[in-house]
């Protein structure tokens, strides 16, 4: 969780230091972790007791654990399915959030593929990302060795698509 001062959005850091001149604090959600009903600091209470109450607050939800990382050598459809099942079980509500969570489940080479897809704006929703990911990595698994795919990808010239 990140603590921000309300007067200008200046980041105070993860240590949650509170200045006496701050009357209003607002909380910015950091992925899935946030505090339910945070203690209030109105300037009249002792800052140390406030900090103790603030530190005692547990997260309302646990941070999303990352499913096993996909390296490109296993079945991409199986990886996508395991990610979906884990996110459904954790009640991550929308597939749009899945798009952003997905890159954290990838090893460096597939992650570079995902970043390229986002930069080229070829994927805007979960169904598109899922389809393109499975087609790309299933085709590569069936037609060539993973090392060959890496060398071939690195040898391709960079092109820009509209």
Residue 15 pLDDT exceeds 50: no
Lowest mean pLDDT among 10-19, 36-45, 93-102: 10-19
Can you read off the two tokens belonging to residue 162? Answer: 């509209």
| Element housing 36 (H / E) | none
Tell me the three state secondary structure of residue 121.
coil
pLDDT confidence tier of residue 49, bands split at 50, 70 and 90 = confident
Q: Are 9 and 26 in contact (CB under 8 A)?
A: no
Residue 11 pLDDT exceeds 60: no
pLDDT confidence tier of residue 16, bands split at 50, 70 and 90 = very low
Rounded to whole angstroms, the Cα distance separating 95 from 101 reads 10
| Closest by Cα among 110, 106, 58, 66 to 86 | 66
Q: Are 98 and 126 in contact (CB under 8 A)?
A: yes
Query: For the segment 123-144, what is each residue's pLDDT rounded down to a tens digit?
Result: 678 888 888 888 888 866 656 5
Rounded to whole angstroms, the Cα distance separating 58 from 86 reads 22
pLDDT score for 149: 66
- Number of Cβ within 10 Å of residue 71's Cβ equals 13
Residue 97 pLDDT exceeds 80: yes
pLDDT confidence tier of residue 100, bands split at 50, 70 and 90 = confident
Average pLDDT of the chain is 68
Measured in Å, how far apart are the chain's first and last C-alpha atoms?
38
Can you read off the two tokens belonging to residue 83? Answer: 């990610």
Residue with tokens 């169904």: 127
pLDDT over 70 for what percent of the chain? Answer: 53
| Element housing 39 (H / E) | none
Residue 39's alpha-carbon distances to 15, 27, 57, in angstroms, are 16, 12, 8
pLDDT score for 28: 40
Strands 25-28 and 2-5: antiparallel
């Amino acid at each position: 969780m990140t603590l921000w001062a309300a007067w200008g959005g200046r980041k105070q850091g993860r240590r949650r230091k509170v200045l006496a001149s701050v009357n209003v604090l607002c909380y910015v959600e950091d992925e899935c972790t946030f505090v339910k009903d945070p203690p209030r600091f109105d300037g009249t209470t002792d800052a140390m007791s406030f900090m103790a109450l603030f530190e005692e607050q547990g997260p309302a939800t646990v941070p999303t654990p990352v499913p096993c990382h996909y390296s490109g050598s296993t079945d991409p459809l199986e990886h996508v399915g395991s990610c979906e099942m884990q996110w459904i079980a954790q009640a991550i509500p929308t597939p749009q959030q899945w798009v952003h969570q997905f890159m954290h489940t990838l090893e460096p080479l597939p992650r570079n593929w995902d970043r390229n897809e986002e930069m080229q704006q070829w994927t805007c929703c979960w169904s598109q990302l899922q389809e393109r990911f499975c087609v790309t990595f299933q085709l590569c698994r069936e037609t060539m060795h993973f090392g060959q795919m890496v060398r071939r990808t690195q040898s391709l010239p960079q092109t820009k698509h509209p």
